[in-house]
Structure 1
Amino acid sequence: MRRDELLDAAEALLQDQGAQALTLAAVAERAGVSKGGLLYHFSTKEALVKGMIERLIADFDALIEAQGESTYTRSYVAATFEAVETGRLRRWAVVTGAAGDPALLAPLREAMARWMRQGLDDEPDPPASQIVRLACEGVWEVATHCSAIVDFAAVRARLLALL
C-alpha cells in the first residue's frame, strides 16, 4: 500500500468520525492493511498526522505553482479559490483539527509565514497584496464553517481588483 493511500484513509476517518477516532488500528482497518503495514510508513499517530500536514503544505504549494498567474498573490488567490471550490478545504479542516499537539502544526505555521511573505517585494503594491492574502485566509475560515453565506465568485473578483 502506498503512503498516500494511508493518508487518504486517515483523512477519510477524520472527516467521517472526528479526531477521537484517529488511531493507528482504525486507519489500518480503513485502508485495508495490517497494522504492521501502516507502521512501516508511520510508526506513531504523531507521524501520521505529521505526514498529513506535510502533504497539505506540498499540495497547496503545487496548487499555487500550477496557477501560472502574473504575480505570486494572484496565484495564491487562484489556488485558494480552487481549493475551496474543489473541496480540498475539507482536508485542511479535518487534518488541522486532528493535530492536537501544537508542535505538530509547526510546519504549517512555517508554511503560512512563507506564503504570506513570498514574492511581496515583487508585487506592484505590497500592502494590498498582503491584505488580499490575509483575506484569503478569511475565505478559508468562512468556507469551512458556513460557505453558503459567501458569493465566492464575487469575493474572488473583488480581491483580484484590489491588486
Structure 2
Amino acid sequence: MSKAYHRKKQPEAVRQQLLEVAAKLSLEKGPGSVTLDAVSQAAGVSKGGLLHHFPNKLSLMDGLFDDLTAKFDRALAERMTADPEPHGRFTRAYLSACFDAQDEQERDGWMVLTTALLSEPHLRERMRRWTEDRLTRHVGTDSSPDAVLARCAIDGLWLADLLGAPVLEPMQRQVLREKLIALTHS
C-alpha cells in the first residue's frame, strides 16, 4: 500500500487561486502577460488543471467576470435587504457597495476586468447585459434622473479610483457619499 501523500482536491479553491493569479499577473506585467502557461506556472497548477477550469484565456476572463459580478450581486442584495425604503433602494445599495469596496484582491480583479472590457467586445456585451438586467429589475424604483445621476457619479469615481486618479480625502468622500445618497430619496 502506498503511503504517498495525496492532496485533497479542492476545485473551487484552485479555481479562485487561478483567477487571483491571472489578475495579479495582469496588474504587475500587463494584460499580455496573462497566458495559460504563465497562469498555471505562477499558480503552481498543471496546465491540465488550469484547462479543466478554463479552456482558454477568454474563459479565464469570463470566470473573473462571473466571480466579481456574483460578489457584487451579493453585496447589493445584502444592502437592499437592510434598506426599508423601496424608492431608490437599488441605487443606494449600488452606491454603498461601490463606496465600501475595500477588498484588495477584488479591487485588483475589477482593474483587470476593466482593462479587458475596453478591448474585448464579448466582455463589454456581458457587462452591458448585466447592467441592463439590474436596471430593468429596478426600473419602478430607481429610474429617476437623480438616481441615474447618482449611479453615473459613482461609476466615474469608481473608475477614477481604479485608474489611480487623485484620491479624494476621506471627508470629501463622505460628503460626496451623503449627497449622492440624498439624490436617491428625491
User: Same-fold call, TM > 0.5?
Assistant: yes
Structure 1 residues 108-156: Cα deviation after superposition (integer angstroms, max 9, x where no partner): 1211223344423124x72211211111111112212214246322211
Residue 133 to residue 117, structure 1, CA distance change in 2 (3 Å): farther
Q: Quick one: distance in 2 between partners of 1:11 and 1:126?
A: 36
Structure number with greater Rg is 2
Contact kept, 8 Å, 2:64 with 2:109, in 1: the verdict is no
* Structure 1: stretches of 5+ with no match in the other structure: none
1:110 corresponds to 2:129: yes
Aligned to 1:130: 148
Deviations 1:94-121 (A, max 9, x none): 1231353212332112112233444231
1:156 equivalent in alignment to 2:177: yes
Tell me how far 1:158 sits from its aligned partner.
1.1
* Cα drift, residue 24 of structure 1: 0.3
Any residues of structure 2 matched to 1:6-17 within 5 Å, and which? 6-17=18-29
Q: How many residues align?
A: 161
- What's the offset of the Cα at 1:48? 0.6
CA contact (8 A) 1:89 1:140 kept: no
Give the distance between the partners of 1:115 and 1:79, measured in 2 at CA.
Answer: 14
Distance in 2 (CA, whole Å) between partners of 1:121 and 1:159 is 19
**2:74 alignment partner, SS class:** helix
Residue pair 1:116, 1:133 contacting (<8 A) in 2 also: no
Distance 2:135 2:156 in 1: 13
The runs of at least 4 aligned residues of structure 1 exceeding 4 Å deviation read none
Deviates more, 1:104-113 or 1:70-79: 104-113
The TM-score normalised by the length of structure 2 is 0.77
The equivalent of 2:66 in structure 1 is: 54
1:2-55, Cα deviation, whole Å (9 max, x unpaired): 211211111111121110100001110111111111011111111111111111
- In 2, Cα distance between equivalents of 1:33 and 1:19: 20
Q: Sequence identity of aligned pairs in percent? A: 31
Instruction: Give RMSD over aligned pairs.
Output: 2.0
Please tell me whether the aligned partners of residues 24 and 38 of structure 1 are also in contact (alpha carbons under 8 angstroms). Answer: yes
Of the structure 1 ranges 107-116 and 16-25, higher mean CA displacement relative to structure 2 is found in 107-116
Superposition pairs of residues 14-29 of structure 1, within 5 angstroms: 14-29=26-41
Structure 2: runs of 5+ lacking an equivalent: 1-10
Bigger fraction of residues in helix: 1
